């Protein structure tokens, strides 16, 4: 049977870590392809579920891997032990300190996302270039609580986000 989604349904912690590794490398590729350079990752990584039972299972894994935050509405939970993804082909070694498990969304087939950081000045310049249509694979999505830039590619199953602050 062919799987509709590359990793889903994720059934084990080992499969979860493989998906996280895929998200990491894919998001760095989006960043490099759109901006021509690599930005520093903020330490947040999100894994997107596609099935209700997968979501319940990944929430259990998340509880094992993370500490309960002081703020119960916090999206990204702090990992007990950071996840370190080794560098590869110009992509730096990356340390993830926070994990998010997203509920199934029938309109999103992506594996997950990661966030990148940029200085306020560079971020404002980037948004202007995007508005002028000068950056391929980047857009300013309207988000109710965050000002951010989304990195995307129709041939990619991950999303990257850029902000001038941490999106915790």
Domains and CATH numbers, the chain: 13-143+150-163 (3.10.180)
Q: Say how far apart CA 131 and CA 144 lie, in whole Å.
A: 19
Q: Say how far apart CA 87 and CA 110 lie, in whole Å.
A: 23
Q: Which residues contact 84 (CB under 8 A, 6 or more apart)?
A: 93, 94, 95, 96
Q: For residue 1, what pLDDT band results from cuts at 50, 70 and 90?
A: very low
Tokens 């990944």 sit on residue: 58
Q: What is the mean pLDDT of residues 2-13?
A: 83
| Model pLDDT for residues 43-101, shown as the tens digit of each residue | 999 999 999 999 999 999 999 999 987 777 788 999 999 999 999 999 999 999 999 99
Residue 166 is predicted with a pLDDT of 61
**Predicted structure pTM score:** 0.93
């Amino acid at each position: 049977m062919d799987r509709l989604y590359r990793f889903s349904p994720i059934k084990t912690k080992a499969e979860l870590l493989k998906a996280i590794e895929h998200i990491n490398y894919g998001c760095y590729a989006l960043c490099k392809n759109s901006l021509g350079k690599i930005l520093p990752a903020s330490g947040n990584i999100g894994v997107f579920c596609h099935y209700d039972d997968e979501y319940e299972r990944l929430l259990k894994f998340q509880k094992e891997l993370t500490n309960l935050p002081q703020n119960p509405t916090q999206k990204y939970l702090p990992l007990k032990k950071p996840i370190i993804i080794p560098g590869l082909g110009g992509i730096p070694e990356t340390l993830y300190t926070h994990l998010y498990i997203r509920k199934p969304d029938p309109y999103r087939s992506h594996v997950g996302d990661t966030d990148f950081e940029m200085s306020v000045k560079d971020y404002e310049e980037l948004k202007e270039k995007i508005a002028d249509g000068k950056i391929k694979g980047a857009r300013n999505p309207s988000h109710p609580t965050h000002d951010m830039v989304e990195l995307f590619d129709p041939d990619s199953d991950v999303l990257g986000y850029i902000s001038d602050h941490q999106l915790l």
